[in-house]
Amino acid sequence: MMERFLDIDLTPYNSFGVPARADRMVTFDSREELRELLADGEILAGRWGVLSGGNNILFTQDFRGTLLHPVGKGIEVLSSDVSRVRVRVQAGLEWDDLVAWAVERGLWGLENLSLIPGYVGAAPVQNIGAYGAEAKDTVEAVELLDTGTLAPLTLAAAHCGFGYRESVFKGVLRGRAVITAVVFSLGRVPRPSLGYGDLARETAALGGPSLENIRRAVTAIRRRKLPDPKETGNAGSFFKNPVVERSVAERLKERYPDLPLYPAQDEAHCKLPAGWLIDRAGWKGHARPTVGVHGAQALVLVNRGGATGTEVLGLASDIRRDVEERFGVRIETEVNVW
């Protein structure tokens, strides 16, 4: 349902829990409703943005404009056969509610992405990923409203430009598309993907690779490593894992033999764990009065209580500079800074 709020406090709408205000926030349920809302051009004439679950955003100032906030939570089965079920999910559903829904129905593909905070509509933007899986593995299409023409569009996954934490929604369609629903293609045939880290061992300890056990294992690993945003403000990994030329990675590996190297998009590149670099630089557990680095995962910056966005950003800049000086590697933020 469409609702309007004026001069709204954004503290409860961002998982870092930093204070900021927006001039206006408008909720929308469906693409049709959003289209109606934008039809007279008033909102689009000013500054506007999409505020989804607020789990990957850092507010460093007030938002002088209108935030569009999806609230539709519907899941609709589009087709179902012996091997696949296609579902259309509205942008405002909590991601983990979708994963739970799929696991309860024996549908494969989302289980490794259990417990990732955020809304379904944000999943394709970041191409969220964890434990060897990414949203792009199951996304079939993305439904959006083109704010340039107010045309409803459906973009097939092949046209979404998915890469590591990348998509067209962060690129050419930024500031143009508003995602209103996502179509997923889920499998009925068991396809456990347990290649990442401790996942195989944890799943075996729970009794084997059933959907429920994989979900339980991923949930347990995440709870151990990542702070619960309901208790400690954070936005998951603050930085992306940097992709560097293989020669650069190999030179670092000579100096630091325990540096893990991961495959990147091609043979000529490697992905390095930013968490390892930040940890090795001595930042893990670092604490300032209001902000800090999580003690179990150096990639996560936390609000220790009463932090502002500027304080979080200050810490991030110091970490970034230090990592670059020590290792010669630039790390980019994964979190969107507003």
The residue ranges that bind ligand EPU (CB under 6 A) are 130-131, 196-197, 225-226, 236-237, 240-241, 260, 273, 275-276, 279, 284, 297-299, 334
DSSP three-state, residue 4 = strand
Least CB distance from residue 2 to ligand EPU, whole Å? 31
Residue closer to ligand EPU, measured from CB, 56 or 147: 56
Q: Of these residues, 24, 31, 165, 320, which one is catalytic?
A: 165
When CB distances to ligand EPU are compared, the closest residue is: 236
Looking up tokens 């939570």 gives 73
What string of DSSP letters covers 192-255?
----STTHHHHHHHTTSS-HHHHHHHHHHHHHHHS--TTTSEEEEESBPPPEEEHHHHHHHHHH
Least CB distance from residue 291 to ligand EPU, whole Å? 16
Q: Of these residues, 143, 216, 237, 320, which one is catalytic?
A: 237
Residue closer to ligand EPU, measured from CB, 67 or 299: 299
Q: Nearest 5 degrees, angle CA 224-CA 226-CA 230?
A: 110
Q: Which residues pair with 245 in a beta bridge?
A: 269
H-type helices in 39-186, by residue range? 42-45, 95-104, 123-126
Residue closer to ligand EPU, measured from CB, 48 or 238: 238
Active site residue 237: yes
Least CB distance from residue 290 to ligand EPU, whole Å? 21
Residue closer to ligand EPU, measured from CB, 78 or 296: 296
What string of DSSP letters covers 150-164?
TEEEEEEGGGS--BT
Least CB distance from residue 238 to ligand EPU, whole Å? 8
DSSP three-state, residue 323 = helix
- Whether the CB-CB separation of 169 and 125 falls below 8 Å is answered with yes
Least CB distance from residue 259 to ligand EPU, whole Å? 9
Residue closer to ligand EPU, measured from CB, 20 or 226: 226
Active site residue 334: yes
Q: Alpha-carbon distance 322 to 195, whole Å?
A: 32
Active site residue 245: no
Indicate which residues carry an active-site annotation: 165, 237, 334
